[in-house]
Amino acid sequence: MAEVTMKVNGKSVTKSVKGNTLMTEFLRDELRLTGTHVGCDTSQCGACTIHVNGKQVKACTMFAGECDGAEIGTIEGQAAPDGTLNAIQAAFKEYHGLQCGFCTPGMVMAASSLLKDNPKPTEAEVRHHLEGNICRCTGYHNIVRAILAASGQDVPAVAAE
Amino acid sequence: MYSFDLVRPTSMEDAVAALGQEDSQPLSGGQTLIPTLKQRLAMPSTLVSLSAIAELKGVSVDGNTLTIGGGTTHAEVAAEAGAYPGLAALAGQIGDPAVRNRGTIGGSLANNDPSACYPAAALGSGATIVTNTREVAADDYFQGMFATALEENEIVTAVKFPIPEKAAYIKFQQPASRFALVGVFVSKGADGVRVAVTGASNDGVFRWSEAEEALNGNFAADAVEALSAPSGADMISDLHGSGDYRAHLVKVMTKRAVAKANG
Ligand SMILES: Cc1cc2nc3c(=O)[nH]c(=O)nc-3n(C[C@H](O)[C@H](O)[C@H](O)COP(=O)(O)OP(=O)(O)OC[C@H]3O[C@@H](n4cnc5c(N)ncnc54)[C@H](O)[C@@H]3O)c2cc1C
Ligand code: FES
Ligand code: FES
């Protein structure tokens, strides 16, 4: 066991962790922040996407011990404390960017890191950025539309392919 | 996963000392090693994380040589290796954004997956792999699928790339994993043309010498068109494609890479 200290959604936490504790386990089981989902646990689906020092990573493919001293962002830190959704979350709601919602925390975290680096992405750039995020329900079009809307751009009527 | 200790040294000296312990193994970005540990295909007693060692990170240019620290992530190479655009573009196409924020060049070259992208860049550029004990030319470094010249727990500390006049990488991506079904890296530099192929051979990354010869005479896609594709007999055959299909792709991807390099 080793002690780790990190800031999770702005709050400092210190805990003892085992060497093989994954960030998904640390967030979900230790901190009870269950918004970070585990879709595959094999680094493929992106449902577990979080931010570590502002960069998106797959929480199922990073050890908690490697986050010592880091700033962590999860889906729980996205809305305002009074529950008001941020622009990306509000756009997902408005544009029906979710159905079952399982992939949504990862999609929102991925979208927010895209828009931080590239505030006005093209549709192709949005799709390229979402390569590591799998959705079984929506067929992606409404997710792409929601992200374009959240970036303040006109939303094209993305045609079904 | 089996249980193990995780240590995070901040200097190479401490990392080397920790790796001297029995059953210890380096951990870099973990994008290959963590899935392997989950499948219980490895059983280290200690993982020595390289991620807090500042001297393993960064991209620098000295004259005609681009040097990348072994712990530099794919995203950092994509953003910072502008002096070698063909290499920066390759790094920007590995996996997805989350994989690129963690995965490193040292981890990729140490692992030498037969479908990985960096081995093609290193062999196709005539790069030098620098470790904590020596320097190894790419031509001597790759020794077959998942096999390299590295001794046990030798650490890749940097990779030195001579910057060529022209270069490009084209991969036919396996759409689910985004690894290369076949990827070809072509460069034209001071010592002539190099053509390195990943994803295709049962022996891992290799140089396609017939294409190099033809391109040394005429660096144009047409020069490749005149060649016959390499034999598919020794190529990887799996549910994604037969050996013959991969052999066919080697030729097509080489033509496209030359056209892109001439772009
Ligand atoms: C979804 C997904 C998609 C991917 N797509 C691609 C792709 O398109 N193309 C591609 O090329 N790769 C791809 N990868 C692999 C990715 O690039 C890995 O990051 C890379 O292969 C391993 O680097 P790492 O830093 O994560 O190493 P780790 O997983 O930490 O380590 C891999 C191995 O190398 C050893 N090691 C690590 N660092 C060093 C070092 N400096 N010196 C000596 N030994 C070391 C470790 O002990 C381990 O055996 C993908 C991975 C995932 C999960
Ligand atoms: S749970 Fe992490 S990528 Fe699927
Ligand atoms: S909304 Fe169900 S997986 Fe995406």
pLDDT band at A157 (very low <50, low <70, confident <90, very high): low
pLDDT on residue A1: 85
CA separation, residue B146 to residues B75, B102, B154, B199 (Å): 23, 20, 15, 12
- B128 and B206 belong to one structural domain: no
Let me know: does A106 contact A73? Beta carbons within 8 Å: no
Mean pLDDT of chain B: 96
As beta bridge partners, residue B48 has B7, B26
Taking CA atoms, what residue in A is nearest to B46? A19
**If you average pLDDT over residues A37-64, what whole number do you get?**
97
Name the DSSP class of B164: P
What is the pLDDT at residue A161?
A: 45
| Three-class secondary structure of residue B263 per DSSP | coil
Q: What is the pLDDT of residues B142-195, one digit of tens each?
A: 999 999 999 998 999 999 999 999 999 999 998 888 899 999 999 999 999 999
Phi/psi at A7 (5° precision): -100, 120
Do B144 and B228 lie in one domain? The reply is no
Q: What is the C-alpha to C-alpha distance for residues B194 and B215, in angstroms, rounded to an integer?
A: 9
Average pLDDT of span B7-32: 96
DSSP helix/strand/coil, B17: helix
Give me B95's structure tokens: 């996996």
Q: CA–CA separation, B230 vs B209, rounded Å?
A: 10
Q: What is the pLDDT of residue A9?
A: 98
Q: How many angstroms away from the CA of B15 is the closest CA of chain A?
A: 15
Domain count, chain B: 3
- Which residue in the set A56, A66, A133 is minimally distant from B101, CB to CB? A56
pLDDT of A160 above 90? no
> Is the per-residue pLDDT at A84 higher than 70?
yes
Distance (Å, whole) CA B76 – CA B87: 12
Distance of CA A115 to the CA centre of its chain: 13
Residue nearest atom 4 in ligand 3 by C-alpha distance: A135
Q: CATH number, domain at B137?
A: 3.30.465.10
Give the residue-averaged pLDDT of B104-128: 98
* Domain CATH code at residue B197: 3.30.390.50
Mark which of B124, B139, B162 sits at the end of a domain: B162
CA dihedral B255, B148, B158, A69 (to 10 degrees): 110
Residue A13: pLDDT band by 50, 70, 90 thresholds? very high
* Distance in Å, alpha carbon of A61 to nearest chain B alpha carbon: 6
Distance CA B91, CA B103 (A): 10
Residues in chain B within 8 Å Cβ distance of A62: 30, 34, 102
B156 shares its domain with B172: no
Looking at chain B, the whole-number percentage of residues with pLDDT higher than 70 is: 100
Q: What pLDDT is recorded for position A154? A: 87
B198-247 pLDDT, tens per residue?
999 999 999 999 999 999 999 999 999 999 999 999 899 999 999 999 99
Determine the distance in angstroms separating the CA of B48 from the nearest CA of chain A, rounded to an integer: 10
Per-residue pLDDT at A99 = 97
Q: Kindly report the pTM of this predicted structure.
A: 0.96
| Contacts within 8 Å (CB) and 24+ apart, A139-145 | A142/A95, A142/A96, A142/A97, A143/A92, A143/A97, A143/A98, A143/A107, A145/A95, A145/A97
What is the widest separation between alpha-carbon atoms in chain B? Answer: 56
Residue ranges making up the domain that contains B43: 5-49
Residue of A20, A66, A110 lying closest to B97 (CB–CB)? A110
* Whole-number pLDDT of residue B153: 87
Residues B197 and B225 in one domain: yes
How far apart are the C-alpha atoms of B134 and B257, rounded to whole Å? 32
Tell me what pLDDT residue A156 has: 76
Residue A158: pLDDT band (50, 70, 90) is: low
> Looking at the structure, do residues B73 and B148 belong to the same domain, yes or no?
yes
Residue A57's nearest CA partner among A46, A42, A41 is A46
Q: Indicate the SS3 state at residue B54.
A: helix
Residue B61: what are its φ and ψ, rounded to 5°?
-120, 130
Question: Using CA atoms, how far apart are residues A3 and B250, in angstroms rounded to an integer?
Answer: 50
pLDDT at residue A101 tops 80: yes
Same-domain status, B181 and B83: no
* CB count in 10 Å sphere of residue B169: 28
- Regarding the beta carbon of A101 and ligand 3, being less than 6 Å apart is answered yes
**Percent of residues, chain A, with pLDDT higher than 90:** 94
Neighbouring residues of B60: CB distance < 8 A, sequence distance ≥ 6: B66, B67
* Digit-coded pLDDT (tens) for A110-128: 999 999 999 999 999 999 9
Q: Are residues B99 and B82 in the same domain?
A: yes
Q: Round to whole Å and give the CA distance between B166 and B62.
A: 18
Domain boundary among B125, B143, B162: B162
**What residue ranges define each of the domains in chain A, with the CATH number in brackets?**
2-77 (3.10.20.30), 87-150 (1.10.150.120)
Structure letter (DSSP) for residue B146: T
Q: Which atom of ligand 2 is nearest to the CA of A43?
A: 3
| In a shared domain, residues B16 and B36 | yes
Instruction: State the pLDDT at residue B101.
Output: 98
Name the 3-class secondary structure at A48: coil
Q: What phi, psi does B192 have (nearest 5°)?
A: 100, -170
Strands (E), B37-90: 46-49, 59-62, 65-69
